[in-house]
Amino acid sequence: MQSLSCVAMTLSLVIGMGLGRADAQVLEPYGPNKQWLSYDGNPLVLSGNGLWEAIRDPSVDITTHNSHCVNYGGNSNRVTLFRLCHETIGPWLRTGPGTANDGGLKWDLNQWNPAFWSRAHAYLQDCRNRGIFIALQVWGEIYLEGGSDRWYKNPFNGDNNINGYFGLPGGDTDVGRDDRFYNVNNAVLMSYQNALVQKALSELAQYPIIWDIGNEVGLDTRISSAWIQHWANVFDAYETANPGVKVLSTVDTNVDDGHYDNVTNLDVVNVQGASSMYPFTLSGAPRTNANDSRVHCKNLQINLDSMHSYYDKPLINSRVTSDVGRIDRPVSDTAGNVLEARHLLWTCFMGATHLISFRTTPAAYYSDLGTEEAQQALRTFINSFNFWECYIRTTSIVSSNEALVLAKADAIYAFYVPNGLHFGNSFTANLSEASGLFRARWFNPRNGTWQPEFMIAGGMSHNFTTPTDEDWALLLDRGNAPQPPIIAEVTPSPDMILVGQPYTKQLTLAQGTPYPTWSVISGPAGLQVSGSGLVSGWTPIGAQAGQVTITIRATNSEGSDDATWQVLVRLKVDFDVDGDVDLEDFGYLQRCYGGSGNPPAAGCEDADLNGDGYIDQVDFNIFINCFGGTDKPPTC
């Protein structure tokens, strides 16, 4: 038996080695080509959407929501930290005394709500496990937009909190359309705003997030650049104080309004408010037919290319899709919405711009699948070539509106032909800079399938005709000889997962032409692998605690390759991950024990075994039921 002092010493060493801390993986611009992003050094293009209130709405099942995203090729979502707090949970507790304008207890802006932050961790952890990257709106429309009810029920409205008015009006004054909430010289108000942002950073900066300062800044409000600059500086300061952490910052604004010129230390440019986007988005110029958007595709790509040159930063579009009917055309015109969304999805990708979007209702997210299917097809195309080596080359390769081009000179040429129905279905590509033979393949963006390949020669111009009078993509590469697949090393091995946590792992190829099929050779019941190499479908149970071996095979016409790795399945109560539940684990729980009503200390969140935001007698009882002793199997 070890003494508690020895246990405490052991625990301090374990904690010093980073137990419960995030790894060093960071989301950042891809160094060799800053148009793209990278995660853990691997190039990345974001494309996806989800429910924008997935954090603040406990009725959203996280597993179902995120599974839907990845099943349709998504790897991103735009989500608000909190929106209309009176509807669900918020960052603070509602303690009273007194009643807020929505009929509930008033907020105490000095007391954090553990349930809210626990929910945020659960969502973002699951996103990270599945390879989903988040654009997180820190200040959502509850603050940054005008409109009925928003300020009336806002926690910062003194009618609704016990902390004061901070120089702001009560009642239903439309504060969202003036500058009082964004006054950096209001010291008391800014102290509460700073407290919220610092809390969010301390809790959530461990996850791969693009921190979006606010929603539609400058589109509905009179916000000065000083307020945006304040938050950009806060994010930079947090990075400096926390080596190894990367806080990518952006703001959802009209790039024409000068904020990105005035605030130069923003890391990512959000183009959703750009005037060049208007033909495609809510704010816009009227359209008479969805096919008209094809006229805008090349103009938009050219504008995106100009913004890349001007800012030299990654671009994102945070309003690629929304619910059918929220754009200018009617709900019944589903085909028009899908075609228009597909044009925009492909044009943004061909403009080296990341696609991070949202849906507002579960019905739209789970049932309106036209955009998700278009995104799924686009992901198949993205995965088929080294996009991170490519740049926008439209004006130097084609001379009219018939096609958009991403290319690496003399190596890769990717074309998108928006729609041939009303504009003709042929285009001429000038490949005089290239030499040798190229493999050519038509790709159907409506269903994600390839046409049979054919060969062409470089050093001349070629006229291409789409297989049908619809939108198509064409990929030319160097026609490399077929290669057997080699699966890149799976890291870490052993991987680690908690009992009850869905396991996912994205496998990648070091080589493999043609693209292989994937299969499970060995592993736990329920394990599956998708056509893109995403391993999922298994949620370990207590009886599987310990080391589990997984083998996945990739096969093409040239051969096959197996990847084998281990997954260490641990119980929540095995804090030191040594396969037993003993005094070392008890000492950790004892150190973190705070009792009901006291949020856990930083680094102790994993000791909250029932997930109620406290480490108390309930967690102690769960632990005792599992206690088995050193080198003995757990009893739960």
The tens digit of pLDDT for each residue in 1-59 reads 333 333 232 222 222 222 233 334 789 999 889 999 999 888 999 998 899 889 988 89
Q: How far apart are CA 220 and CA 216, in angstroms?
A: 7
Average pLDDT value over all residues in the chain:
82
For residue 176, the SS3 value is: helix
Residue 273's pLDDT is 58
Q: How far apart are CA 549 and CA 540, in angstroms?
A: 12
Using alpha carbons, list the distances in angstroms from residue 535 to 46, 75, 359, 529, 571: 19, 15, 26, 4, 21
Torsional class of 432: left (φ above 0), alpha (ψ -120 to 50), beta (otherwise)? alpha
What is the pLDDT averaged over residues 254-267?
Answer: 78
Across 167-177, b (16+ Cβ under 10 Å) vs e yields: ebeeeeeebbe
> Is the confidence at residue 222, as pLDDT, over 70?
no
Q: Are 441 and 435 in contact (CB under 8 A)?
A: no
> Is the confidence at residue 540, as pLDDT, over 60?
yes
Number of H helices, E strands in the chain: 14, 31
Strands 559-570 and 495-498: parallel
Instruction: State the Cα angle at 290 between 36 and 278, rounded to 5°.
Output: 55
DSSP state of 601: P
Residue 573's pLDDT is 82
Specify the higher pLDDT residue, 454 or 236.
Answer: 236
Residue 520's pLDDT is 96
Q: Tell me what percent of the residues of the chain surpass a pLDDT of 70.
A: 82
pLDDT tens per residue, range 443-489: 999 999 999 988 888 999 999 999 988 889 999 997 655 678 999 99
Q: How far apart are CA 240 and CA 245, in angstroms?
A: 8
Which of 175-189, 214-228, 573-587 has the lowest average pLDDT?
Answer: 214-228
Residue 457's pLDDT is 86
> Is the confidence at residue 298, as pLDDT, over 90?
no
514: preceding bond cis by omega (within 30 degrees): yes
Residue 16's pLDDT is 28
pLDDT tens per residue, range 415-452: 999 875 444 578 899 999 998 888 899 999 999 999 99
Q: Tell me what percent of the residues of the chain surpass a pLDDT of 90.
A: 39
- Set out the domains of the chain in order of their start, with CATH numbers: 34-383 (3.20.20.80), 391-477 (2.60.40), 483-570 (2.60.40.10)
> Is the confidence at residue 336, as pLDDT, over 70?
no
Residue 243's pLDDT is 87
Q: How far apart are CA 129 and CA 122, in angstroms?
A: 11
State the pLDDT confidence band at 366, using cuts at 50, 70 and 90.
confident
- Within 10 angstroms of residue 23's Cβ, the number of other Cβ atoms is 11
Specify the higher pLDDT residue, 498 or 218.
Answer: 498
Using alpha carbons, list the distances in angstroms from residue 193 to 183, 253, 331, 607: 11, 20, 39, 29
Q: Are 250 and 212 in contact (CB under 8 A)?
A: yes
Specify the higher pLDDT residue, 577 or 446.
Answer: 446
DSSP state of 453: P
Residue 241's pLDDT is 94
Which residues 6+ apart lie within 8 Å of 391 measured at CB? 33, 35, 352, 406, 407, 408
Q: Which of 250, 252, 264 is nearest to 310 (CA)?
A: 264
